[in-house]
Amino acid sequence: MPTRQTKEFTCVQCPMGCLLTVTLEDGAVVSVSGNSCPRGKAYGRTEAVHPERTVTSLVGILDDFHPLSVKTAAPIPRERIDEVLDAIAQTVIEPPVEIGDVVIPDVCGTGVDVVATEARS
């Protein structure tokens, strides 16, 4: 007997803000309803199974009063955000740095790098 589960979200793909209902069986999406377009369906599928977010924060930079802005180069699983933020907060790097330079490779084993989003000489 498969376990059946439903999850509800507000779709964020456009200002309509459709209330999506996603039905899962044994953790796999079997249907999305409440959407008015294909983008909503795709969003519902991802959001129900593995919600992902891009994280942006700051790292310290040696001998510089101002921190440096960074981001995860790709979205990471939402439940790993705190862990990744802690790793970023403990990081201090040396200048110079260019946009896109890897600041933390494979952060917390997520397979995603943290990269600089501003340059500093």
As given in the structure block, the two tokens for residue 13 are 């793909």
Residue 117 C-beta: closest distance to another protein, Å: 4
Contacting residues for 63 by C-beta, under 8 A, at least 6 apart: 95
Of 1, 3, 15, 38, the one binding another protein (CB under 8 A) is 15
Site string for another protein, 67-86 (x = CB under 8 A): x-x-x------x--x---x-
Q: Tell me how many residues contact another protein (CB under 8 A).
A: 28
Q: Are 95 and 121 in contact (CB under 8 A)?
A: yes
- For CA atoms 10, 24, 82, 80, the dihedral sign is negative
Q: Under DSSP, is residue 110 helix (H, G, I), strand (E, B) or coil? A: coil
Find the binding residues for another protein in span 101-120 (CB under 8 A).
117-119
Residue 42 C-beta: closest distance to another protein, Å: 15
Site string for another protein, 25-64 (x = CB under 8 A): -----------x----------------xxxxxx-x----
As given in the structure block, the two tokens for residue 46 are 């991802």
